Structure 1
């Protein structure tokens, strides 16, 4: 017995006649009679008194009619809910954003998406890229913005920023007079760093170790503006992405290209390969790519 059987049964109960019910449902009378008979055989009861021209519900039929109508209504509500989701009339998305990234790249995207899909709720979680990657992995987040590359066997991704790290130094610092700086030249310098839950924390340390030294970290923060203000106060140097460096006051801090090595800063949106992605989340990916001019 399935939902179609119940619909046929309810139609006969309403019409009081198998032929009229069949006509209303655009099926043959034998088809609808067979469906009702299948229900009776499965439940072991008689649903209709067929002795007269007008069929009437039995006591068992009266009980089953109430339940059948409830089931059909619930199924219709379920279908409507799914239709809303598939047509993006409702839904929710959980997105992880690093603090220094969200305010730079996503307010306009979120505003435009909300305008086009007002009934889709967007839940933003601010955290470091390391924690965001973990939460996408464990399913707490649908999508997350992280520093690429990531494990390609686990995640789908697309990149929307491809930059490099720059050196920030106080204008009175000897390095501020140079056009470019090699990483090895920073061996004796005090560093102002991002926190450990930021991907750049470990990446910068890794590159420093490859250059033959371990950085002297005097302070860690999750806020790029606080890091740059510490450089303004001449407490140390910092390595920040190009986008962020364009926001600093060049009268108070000097921005110098870092070479040998160039440390890339690629941002991307990731989602799990082996987990179901909602209609709303899939549309967010498509919408964001189009908004940012990214081709598939």
Structure 2
């Protein structure tokens, strides 16, 4: 399978038109159509539904698109590492992570590194632990910032010197807003908005002393912003981490911590036996100096 043809495939998937994709790629339409037909023959499946106005992906086409994006990104990342000038330290570092104020500690290390090596660029991918570890395993990320509980045993890791605190995000006019802390029984019958991460379910279930599946979970989220909008509309109470949502001033929302307190460690992880680019290796050295 030719990487060039995968780029052609992605262009057509994005443009949804042979004409537009061919123009973008500076190819003739017959050439592009032939290349993509040969790709379908090679894979033994239909990738496109060719409509009168636009081209859409089949289910197999959607599956290939995700894989092709990962392959093309990994090739681009590898090319950039080898093409970086030898005489100066330059290049890219790829970091993934969930939403946590503890990420600020990592940002401090990034800032110091870039002060010393201004040609180093950092790329941040935001996602939950499942998404981040998948991208680490595929070589698309150098490092991941993971909020426990998460499977970190298969990685090398450092525990960051701060903890995240679980609590409930709610409207200020909610009856629970009068409480200083939220106890398990306060939430048993309320509409809840919970994290979709499977490891979080177990931790919350132990704290709340109820089967997580039997709680009134009306919605789930992987990043807090959209969950915040649902809380604002009165859809439910969001179980989330502290210091992620601005609840000061004119905000209609407030945050209350759980009691008993539920705190979690935050780790920065990387693949064992990983061969890093020079910028990533320097970043790791700074991490170990700061947090090791």
Q: Which has the larger radius of gyration?
A: 1
The corresponding residue for 1:276 is: 275
Change (3 A) 1:215 1:88: farther
Q: What whole-Å deviation, never above 9, does each CA across 1:187-231 have from its counterpart, x for those lacking one?
A: 11111233x3x4675355543674345332222334423323332
Is 2:237 the partner of 1:211? no
Change (3 A) 1:143 1:199: farther
- Whether the 8 Å contact between 1:98 and 1:145 is mirrored in structure 2 is yes
Is 2:192 the partner of 1:191? yes
Name the CA distance, whole Å, in 1 between partners of 2:225 and 2:140. 29
Q: TM-score, normalised by structure 2?
A: 0.58
SS at match of 2:230: helix
The corresponding residue for 2:183 is: 182
The corresponding residue for 2:259 is: 259
- Please, which moves more after superposition, 87-96 or 262-271? 87-96
Is 2:146 the partner of 1:146? yes
Moved over 6 A (4+): 81-85
Alignment of 1:107-146 (within 5 A): 109-146=109-146
Name the CA distance, whole Å, in 2 between partners of 1:239 and 1:159. 23
For residue 91 of structure 1, report the CA deviation from its aligned partner: 3.7
For residue 280 of structure 1, report the CA deviation from its aligned partner: 2.1
Q: TM-score, normalised by structure 1?
A: 0.57
Change (3 A) 1:231 1:239: same
For residue 136 of structure 1, report the CA deviation from its aligned partner: 1.7
SS at match of 1:181: coil
Alignment of 1:156-175 (within 5 A): 156-160=156-160, 161-175=162-176
**Residue ranges of structure 2 left out of the alignment (5+ in a row):** 1-81
Name the CA distance, whole Å, in 1 between partners of 2:134 and 2:252. 37
RMSD over aligned Cα atoms: 3.4
Name the CA distance, whole Å, in 2 between partners of 1:236 and 1:95. 32
- Whether the 8 Å contact between 1:98 and 1:127 is mirrored in structure 2 is yes
Q: What whole-Å deviation, never above 9, does each CA across 1:108-132 have from its counterpart, x for those lacking one?
A: 5444433321233333322222211
**Residue ranges of structure 1 left out of the alignment (5+ in a row):** 1-80
Change (3 A) 1:187 1:149: closer
Change (3 A) 1:220 1:105: farther
Q: How many residues get paired?
A: 208
Q: What whole-Å deviation, never above 9, does each CA across 1:41-88 have from its counterpart, x for those lacking one?
A: xxxxxxxxxxxxxxxxxxxxxxxxxxxxxxxxxxxxxxxx89976x97
